Structure 1
Amino acid sequence: MASPVLGVVGGALVLLTSGCPASKKPSKLETTLANMAKDVVIPLEAQNVKNPASATDENIQAGQQTYLQQCALCHASDGRAETKLGLAMYPPAMDLNSPHVQRWSDAELFWIIQNGVRLTGMPAWKTIVSEQDSWKMVNFIHALPKLALIQAAQQKEAVAAKSQAQLVAYGRKLYRQEGCVGCHQLDGEGGTVGPDLTVEGTRGRSDEWLVGHFKDPSAYTPGSVMLSFKQLTDEQLRALTVFLQGEKGPEPK
């Protein structure tokens, strides 16, 4: 058992914090002792218990649901603990993505969830959260860094997709604004002076080729009567190119 060490740490914390408001910024010594308490509080015999709930997607999702109901108020939904309540605590609620937390074993995390840690604001959940649900919550906590990477990648893809959609919309607007529709057919609409652009995206022309053609048509297509669009900005030329590269004909029925 680590109780003798905990007693020393706890006694020191009580001595240091007696008569001090929680709103007062803790000293470095207080912070060090508070963090030490989280490490020494776990009984040695509790550290080698095996997690009976394997870290399957189903168990991680179940653990997340319990976590959101019981823990997110202090630790936030992403485990970063950047909540008003979590930041106002002494010591502040821990970032569950941090190496400090992630190095704890399943058994150590389980013990902390079930029993809490005195003088840190971490309550005991054993009367509220079952052992089975606690083990699943441990799986979720250990999955947090990986889930954060997945979420960041998804957000990046969403931003990229939105940007792509915005470019296509702007390119479509420019196509009409610059008078392209007067000379080219597109989806059955427009003039016939130039080639039909309904399937432009299937011709295998690179973006660089199209941009160069817009700027100096005759240099890329000898004898072309197309006007130069070199007055367009790089952003406008890119938008027009992205729009036309997406034109690949009607969807097959």
Structure 2
Amino acid sequence: MIRATWRSLLFLVGVWAMSVAMPMGSLLWAEPSKGKPEAGKQIYMESCQHCHGPTGKADTELAASLTPRPADLTAKTTQSKKDGQLRKAIVEGVPGTAMSAFGEAFDDQQMADVIAYIRSLKP
């Protein structure tokens, strides 16, 4: 009787742990979804171009007034970052800069679209 109860308890704890771990694991280990640059451009123009500029070069008056200047998204240093690094900067912001956290503003597909658009800015 005690073994059956103990097994049931372990089973329930396992089910609970999987329900918590699966969403987190899917973010960490899942294949990156294919973003659509054209959809990402629309999001970029609404949310990013004010600081990073319409071409991603951070060449706007607002960008010039910020210290440090926003990242040039066409530069090799930005383009060489992994998608996860770009995602982290967008979600969490970049301390010591004007890059604020967008947190949950974008769902996974929108984030993939924005990153795909940033990748399309590569010279």
With the length of structure 1 as denominator, give the TM-score of the two structures.
0.36
User: Residue in 1 aligned with 2:55?
Assistant: 78
Classify the secondary structure of the residue corresponding to 1:137.
helix
1:119-198 aligned at under 5 Å gives the runs: 119-145=96-122
Aligned residues: 96
d(CA) in 2 for partners of 1:123, 1:51 = 27
d(CA) in 1 for partners of 2:47, 2:63 = 13
Classify the secondary structure of the residue corresponding to 1:64.
helix
Structure 1, gaps ≥5 residues long: 1-47, 147-253
> Relative contact order, CA 8 A, sep 6+: which one is greater?
2
Classify the secondary structure of the residue corresponding to 1:69.
helix
Post-superposition offset of 1:49: 5.2
Q: 1:62 to 1:117 in 2, by over 3 A?
A: same
The structure with the largest alpha-carbon Rg is 1
With the length of structure 2 as denominator, give the TM-score of the two structures.
0.71
Classify the secondary structure of the residue corresponding to 1:145.
coil
Classify the secondary structure of the residue corresponding to 2:106.
coil
User: Residue in 1 aligned with 2:95?
Assistant: 118
Q: Does 1:63 align with 2:43?
A: no
Q: Percent identity?
A: 28
Q: In 2, are the aligned partners of 1:67 and 1:137 still within 8 Å (CA)?
A: yes
Structure 2, gaps ≥5 residues long: 1-27
Deviations 1:170-219 (A, max 9, x none): xxxxxxxxxxxxxxxxxxxxxxxxxxxxxxxxxxxxxxxxxxxxxxxxxx
User: Residue in 2 aligned with 1:53?
Assistant: 33
Post-superposition offset of 1:127: 3.4
RMSD (Å) for aligned C-alpha atoms:
1.7
